[in-house]
Amino acid sequence: MSASDPKAPASSPAGERIAKKLSRAGVASRREAERMIDAGRVGVNGKIITSPALNVTDTDTITVDGAPITPPEPARLWMFHKPIGLVSTDSDEKGRETIYSALPDDMPRVMSVGRLDINSEGLLLLTNDGGIKRQLELPSTGWLRRYRVRVNGRPTDAQLDPLRKGVTVDGETFQPMSVTLDRQQGANAWLTVGIREGRNREIRRALGEVDLAVNRLIRISYGPFQLGELKSGTVEEIRRKIMRDQLGLPPEDDTPTKPTQATRQRKPRPPQAKSKSGPKTGPRSTPKSGGHRPPRPRR
């Protein structure tokens, strides 16, 4: 915004950064909002802005592509069981179907917390609040993501041990992973893998480094939130009070929000005792898989 504009909110340190405001309103993540600003799509008080270094308050009028943004709704969080074949982006340059085309029609505008690639399935968190998205994605928060992974071959503990120490693939070093060999099933083996960063195709690339090809990958938990028995392609909303308790957010009036169709309110499952065939038990704060097992492959 021009410094000569008498309405420019940048003249006051009050309020919050424009990208954060857009993120909280569910328009886009902060980084995506900054790109929208660079592209000249955002206006404040009738002026197109060109820099995200701008503070705004509730008295400022903000537009995106000429349309006013709506006031932010209370923060909400959903669990979506992503099927194989969907991409976790708003749009795809190759014309592939996205996760958003599979959501109920009455879902509000939401953003995905991280991504699952097109050939991966399982738990994908969705939120209407950019601050929650950022909190869940930051590497510094260390949210544990756990996966059931099927690989071709007969892996041994010795073969998997480098993953537990941290491997470097194409110059990129991955943090140590928790890896448990669960069972051998014919020519394939099932593993449980836990990671805390979630880099692009991290598990596939790391297992490839120890000569194991992944042929199925299912995310079964993200922090305390469990996939459980949630059916493929369906959504469940997490109660706002549970969400705030789990994320350490200050309490608020937990007035029920009208649920979306195909959505049930659900608490994260409490930790269960370790089974003989299941993954190893970690610290008490480490969530368990909730007993989810993938279906047997077709013969």
Asked if residue 43 lies in contact with residue 51, where contact means CB atoms within 8 angstroms, the answer is no
Judging by beta carbons within 10 Å of its beta carbon (0-12, 13-18, 19+), is residue 50 exposed, middle or buried? middle
Beta bridge partners of 8: none
**Phi/psi of residue 251, nearest 5 degrees:** -65, 155
Looking at the chain, the number of H-run helices and the number of E-run strands are 6, 17
Active-site pick, 5, 117, 182, 245: 117
Active site residue 129: no
Two structure tokens written together for 290: 């909730």
Q: How far is CA 225 from the centre of its chain?
A: 11
Spatial distance between the Cα atoms of 61 and 53, rounded to a whole number of angstroms: 17
Encoded tokens for 265: 């309110």
The SS3 of residue 13 is coil
CB 213 within 8 A of CB 207: yes
- Side chain identity at residue 22, one-letter code: L
Residue with tokens 């420019």: 8
Catalytic machinery residues: 117
